[in-house]
Structure 1
Amino acid sequence: MDFSSTPGYHGSREIGLNAWLIGFSTLFYGLRLFVRISMTKSPGLDDGIAGIAYVFLLFQSMTDIHSVSFGSGAHLVYIPQGILDEFFKALTIQTLVYFWAVALVRFAILAFLSRLSQDRSITIISWTVAVVILAQTIAAFIYRLTECNQLEDIFKPQGPQDAHCVGAADHNKMMVGHGIVGIVVDTILLLLPIWVIYTKMMWSKKTLQIILVLSVGFFAVATGIIRVILIKTKNFETDVTYEMPSLGIWTNLEGHVGLWCGCFPALQPLLRMVPGKLCGTTNNGGQQNEKISHDATKTTYEGSVVYRNEADGESQRAIVSIDMGVGDREMQKRDASPV
């Protein structure tokens, strides 16, 4: 049903934003697979988990777009009761999918960390965070499923008179709690790879560039903070169909931006090829074409050498390439040699 002619309607923004989110997520994840499968020949568990997260985020955004036809973005007074029932059904499904979508995005980043470093302290922190994410997701998912005495009632509109369901205040407390834990987890997931790169890899201009790329994750943390503030400050009971899209925009941004941040480090080999393609040369002292070769133990970029040694956990830094001088390369060779 079309509500675009109703006063104050803003559902079109929901459609436009989600279309852009789907497009960018498809682009970044597609490039990630291209690099991992075709260029570095190193697909891993993190790519598979990210793929499942991408499917969940795609479904979440498409459900958000579809909910516009059920009155999302229009004032509640203009929506017939039958259409309103469909709106609440879509909203509940969206919430349940959201819990697992953001959890899978975070799991994908943790799996990437295991490729980047197998340091014992990083492993312990990663497993601890993984347990927290899993516990948080299961608790929120089960709570949402059991908010009403009958399972089918969670898909229906609920008012203050519905004693058979938890009140809106209790529901919002759960969502705020889930959001706060998510902010803490996202902050840890942002800082861990930056710390690993800063402490374990050769310092160079390229290292700084990689850290700056990872720092885009600050925006993912910011979206989580804004989302929690909206849940606490907005009154969704009086005009839920009109107010909910404002929250939905930040909810969808949180998951999609998290997926992008998990994809960016894998795109470093592709990004390094761009200057060479545009200029015809790369700067290995200045004049040689950039070439890529693969064998069982190393990936070589003229101007960069990154060694991969299965016995050395830190050699998983091959995911990104860093400009190194001749002396640095010799040191890297010794570090990568079997003990």
Structure 2
Amino acid sequence: MAASTEDGKASDDKGPLILAVLWSLTGLTTVLVIARMYIRNSLLHNLGADDWLITTSLIMGLVYCGITTANVAIGYGKHAWLLSDSTVEQASFLNSLSFLFGIISFPMPKLAVTAILCAVVSGVCIVVLFTMCDPPKALWKTHPVVKGKATCRDVWILINYAIFTGALSAFVDLVLAAYPSTVLMKLHMLLQKRLALCAALGLGSIASAMAIIKCTQLKGLADKSDYTYGTADLVIWTNIESNVVIIASCIPTLQPVLELILGRRTTSSSNNNSRNRYKGSNQPDSSYDNSNLSKPRKPDWGTTTVESQESILRDEEDGRTGSHPLGVIRRTDNVIVEYENRVGEGEQQW
């Protein structure tokens, strides 16, 4: 291609920025998903389908990062006029392929909370993307279109539908973030705890903002003259949206890990607590003070208190007192004897 600088400088390169954002954010997301799986499997023993959906979404995101990294290595992120025609076609192909995994990655966590409509609409977006041209390879190859061997629909059909998909995704994220708060604020618990839970579950609102920002970058798909540079921001924000959705779904489950770090929980405490929850009815409450049942008044001068205790539970067959499985319950009788000195005749009272 001609070495024109009308659309920018030759030194412009968004490749390093793409890799920095993608891998730093995806790395954080990977750590949080691993922590979530550890908590749900090892501490809570409650691994479910939602956890596997989120893990699958992470895998799709990792594939997206891998393909994009390979794309940057061949020149994606630079101006198209700095690259050969074959490199631009290859970069366009890898970018289209990465969008396949990118689009799959951000609706999957929503499936974990039954946002099925959003997932279906995103799936249709994939179909629209890969049916834009006939044959489909004309989506990234320009020569068939130039020679009249392929036809493509107006790219704004894809852009407008992608904007609709992003808007719906933002709306779903916002609803999923706001709805739990309306339920939590009605619960009978400390206000501080309710606010903390609302903040944790409300992180989806950030994902909603990311989806809106991504929609503003979709116009880059129409820049066919500088495709490798014009769509770079879209690649970045697609990854950001996907990771933020996953992070928002993981953070509410991380409290046990925080307790482990602070030393407030051990790896076996969750199991012990869940087991003891069903044993509490068979064990006496040592914190109960039975002295409150019968409190004799404070003896006055010249008052003697005599106590007698007797087990009121049936002794076991071996005759041992206190061997009953429910523990020992005793009856206590308090006998108060009061006396005073009588002043006799001729005696002086002091």
Same fold (TM > 0.5): yes
Q: How does 1:172-187 map to 2 (within 5 A)?
A: 172-187=159-174
Q: Write the letter of the residue equivalent to 1:82.
A: S
TM-score by length of 2: 0.69
Structure 1 residues 63 and 199: CA distance shift in structure 2, 3 A: farther
Aligned: 1:294 with 2:279: no
User: Among 62, 65, 77, which residue is 2:81 paired with?
Assistant: 77
**CA distance, structure 2, for counterparts of residue 97 and residue 69 of structure 1:** 19
| Structure 1 equivalent of residue 141 of structure 2 | 156
Structure 1 residues 44 and 201: CA distance shift in structure 2, 3 A: farther
Q: Aligned residues, how many?
A: 267
Contact 1:9–1:73 (CA<8 Å) still a contact in 2? yes
| Structure 2 equivalent of residue 63 of structure 1 | 67
Structure 1 residues 35 and 241: CA distance shift in structure 2, 3 A: same
Aligned: 1:143 with 2:128: yes
Q: CA deviation at 1:234?
A: 8.2
Q: CA deviation at 1:43?
A: 1.0
| Structure 2 equivalent of residue 334 of structure 1 | none
Q: CA deviation at 1:299?
A: 8.3
Q: How does 1:179-258 map to 2 (within 5 A)?
A: 179-200=166-187, 202-232=189-219, 236-258=223-245
Structure 1 residues 201 and 136: CA distance shift in structure 2, 3 A: farther
Q: Write the letter of the residue equivalent to 1:294.
A: N
Contact 1:84–1:157 (CA<8 Å) still a contact in 2? no
Contact 1:21–1:253 (CA<8 Å) still a contact in 2? yes
Deviation string, structure 1 residues 15-47 (Cα, Å, up to 9, x no partner): 111110221111001111111111112111111
Q: CA deviation at 1:267?
A: 0.9
Aligned: 1:259 with 2:236: no
TM-score by length of 1: 0.71
| Structure 2 equivalent of residue 99 of structure 1 | 103
**CA distance, structure 2, for counterparts of residue 70 and residue 156 of structure 1:** 16
Q: CA deviation at 1:149?
A: 1.8
SS at match of 1:294: helix
| Structure 2 equivalent of residue 166 of structure 1 | 153
**CA distance, structure 2, for counterparts of residue 244 and residue 70 of structure 1:** 15
Structure 1 residues 158 and 88: CA distance shift in structure 2, 3 A: farther
User: Among 14, 23, 26, which residue is 1:22 paired with?
Assistant: 26
**CA distance, structure 1, for counterparts of residue 69 and residue 267 of structure 2:** 44
Structure (1/2) with the larger helix percentage? 1
| Structure 2 equivalent of residue 53 of structure 1 | 57
Q: Write the letter of the residue equivalent to 1:156.
A: K
**CA distance, structure 2, for counterparts of residue 143 and residue 244 of structure 1:** 18
**CA distance, structure 1, for counterparts of residue 220 and residue 82 of structure 2:** 24
Q: Write the letter of the residue equivalent to 1:97.
A: F
**CA distance, structure 2, for counterparts of residue 63 and residue 216 of structure 1:** 28
Contact 1:292–1:299 (CA<8 Å) still a contact in 2? no
SS at match of 2:11: coil
**CA distance, structure 2, for counterparts of residue 166 and residue 234 of structure 1:** 13
Q: Write the letter of the residue equivalent to 2:193.
A: K
| Structure 2 equivalent of residue 36 of structure 1 | 40
**CA distance, structure 2, for counterparts of residue 290 and residue 169 of structure 1:** 54
SS at match of 1:207: helix
| Structure 1 equivalent of residue 325 of structure 2 | none
Q: CA deviation at 1:248?
A: 1.1
| Structure 1 equivalent of residue 119 of structure 2 | 134
Identity %: 21
